[in-house]
Structure 1
Amino acid sequence: MLFRFRSQNLFKLCPKVLATPKVFKSDSSNAETVELAYSSYESTDTDTSKKPPLVILHGLLGSKNNWNSMSKAIHKATGRKIISIDARNHGDSRHSSQHTYIHMAHDVIKLLKKLEISKVSILGHSMGGRTAMVLSLLCSDLVSSMIVVDISPVKTSPQIFTMMNLFDAMAAVSIRTGIAMSKARKLADEQLKNVSPDVNLRNFLITNLIQTNTGTYTWRVNLPALKDNFQSHISNFPTTLKGLQYCGPTLFIGGSLSDYIGKNDLPEIQEYFPLAELVFIDGAGHWVHSQKPEKFLETVCKFLADK
């Protein structure tokens, strides 16, 4: 079941001054960017290739690999080219001591410029959803439409602050050199049980475990940078963007069992995104796309077909 919320503010006009610039001019335009790794899913169908590509941005401690199946499914259903990106300090992308939404948005802008793509739809989950929001506010001409999954610019779930414990637990994991990956994963799981009884969460975290050329095990995410930036940057939406608006088609998708976004958030969301709609997928928590994949796919594809 899917619940949809609308607001009377849907047709509020954006300030004209924000409609013209390609990129919002502020100190953020000097943000130091990094090279991003990405995967693309496309076909040779000339009709469907005319539609803007869909850029997918994963959440904290995730990677583009988490979206492999969903990327293929969205491409098959819509015909759009899909570009799934690893955020800085995640997956195969470069590491940096800086990890803010301004930096991450500029990373994506740089990649799209490199790929010579001038217009995209964008889908972001959690941390990736906030990156998508910031990108659309800073560079509205680049964004054809936007889908934000289980996160908002006006509210933070209390659960998010348990991430500090997860960072510490992951950093404390110790695995001896030279053992098989399957054994290493089991050992990591045993050690992470002390901080999380949720086997699905532990399995998600362990997708970041890698073996180096010397046989040692480490995490591919930059844990020190994520921990250092978490309280001041990652856990909150940047207040410096207050007053900016993105006036393109926007859909917020929440999980009915999640507290990351609520139906009462919509009026404040529309202060940034006047055309935003909000839907909830019944029975889903924070990881809506993996917990209710069929309903999530249907919701995303319907929005992309209409916009």
Structure 2
Amino acid sequence: MKFKVYKNEKQLKNEEFYLNDQKLILIFHGLFGRAKNWHSIALRISSIFDGTIIVFDLRNHGENEPSTEISYSIMVNDVYEFIKKKNINKFSIIGHSMGGKLGMLFTLLYPQFVKQLFVVDIAPVDYPREEIEIVDHLLKIDVKNCKSRKDVDVKLSNYINDKELRSFLLQNLNFNNGIYSWSLDLNTIKMGMKDLRGFPIDLISNVSQYRYLLYFWRK
């Protein structure tokens, strides 16, 4: 997984240097999000938090290479493999939307690693099909033949009236060698949407009870 690291109101270039910090916060973005979305928030948190903040690009989002699968269980494994590789033993989690569900599932499956869990604007329940419709709208747009970001926005406005939502989605536009593309693997996300809309209760049916500190925020 690609990630960005923040400490003392700075984004670090040498990401490996602070990974052994005893005070860590891991941040998981929401569906259609990316680590870049959290840049200003991570800087603000790092101004009052005496430790290191790691913001991830989750599977099939941001700067990650495309993958043929996406689900909460797979993303939990991505996080687990990361912390084991980096020898990280204890941390807090901030998770927004899809990232909040990921944080909840990780905490339930691996409570020994988690100090605190902060869940923003999501609950462990099934949600409507709105996100599937958004994926379909994005897939309808031939961004490769668009001449500008505004051109993409105009085409997207035929399907989505909400200007703020369009602006958020357009943050996933890449522009390389004169060609636009999505940083999202939309086809894989669409195939995994049933899992992403819900919450894998079956994975935690045999989980032992642990006590941990959990915070919920709703906009």
* TM-score normalised by length of structure 2: 0.88
Q: Which deviations, in whole Å up to 9, do the C-alpha atoms of 1:146-178 show, x marking residues without a partner?
A: 11111111x3343xx111221111112124559
Q: Does 1:40 align with 2:5?
A: yes
Q: Does 1:151 align with 2:122?
A: yes
Q: Which runs of 4+ in 1 moved over 3 A?
A: 175-179
The unaligned stretches of length 5 or more in structure 1 are 1-35, 44-48, 256-307
The Cα of 1:75 is off from its aligned counterpart by 0.8
2-side partners of 1:178 and 1:168: how far apart?
Answer: 18
Q: Does 1:235 align with 2:197?
A: yes
1-side partners of 2:58 and 2:103: how far apart?
Answer: 12
1-side partners of 2:113 and 2:79: how far apart?
Answer: 11
Q: 2:85 aligns with which of 114, 120, 139?
A: 114
Q: What residue number does 1:7 align with?
A: none
Q: Which deviations, in whole Å up to 9, do the C-alpha atoms of 1:130-156 show, x marking residues without a partner?
A: 111111111111111111111111x33
**DSSP 3-state at the match of 1:194:** coil
- Please tell me whether the aligned partners of residues 120 and 145 of structure 1 are also in contact (alpha carbons under 8 angstroms): yes
2-side partners of 1:166 and 1:246: how far apart?
Answer: 37
The Cα of 1:224 is off from its aligned counterpart by 0.3
2-side partners of 1:50 and 1:119: how far apart?
Answer: 10
* TM-score normalised by length of structure 1: 0.64
Q: What residue number does 1:136 align with?
A: 107
1-side partners of 2:21 and 2:168: how far apart?
Answer: 35
**DSSP 3-state at the match of 1:113:** helix
Q: Which deviations, in whole Å up to 9, do the C-alpha atoms of 1:201-252 show, x marking residues without a partner?
A: 0000000011233x22110110000001102x10000021235344211111
Map 1:1-307; keep pairs closer than 5 Å.
Answer: 36-43=1-8, 51-153=22-124, 155-158=125-128, 161-175=129-143, 179=147, 184-213=148-177, 215-231=178-194, 233-240=195-202, 241-244=204-207, 245-255=209-219
Identity %: 33
Q: Report how many residues are paired.
A: 207
The unaligned stretches of length 5 or more in structure 2 are 9-19
Q: Which deviations, in whole Å up to 9, do the C-alpha atoms of 1:248-275 show, x marking residues without a partner?
A: 11111112xxxxxxxxxxxxxxxxxxxx
The Cα of 1:191 is off from its aligned counterpart by 1.0
Larger radius of gyration: 1
- Please tell me whether the aligned partners of residues 146 and 152 of structure 2 are also in contact (alpha carbons under 8 angstroms): no
- Please tell me whether the aligned partners of residues 52 and 120 of structure 1 are also in contact (alpha carbons under 8 angstroms): yes
Q: What residue number does 1:274 align with?
A: none
1-side partners of 2:21 and 2:192: how far apart?
Answer: 39
2-side partners of 1:208 and 1:120: how far apart?
Answer: 28
- Please tell me whether the aligned partners of residues 135 and 186 of structure 2 are also in contact (alpha carbons under 8 angstroms): yes
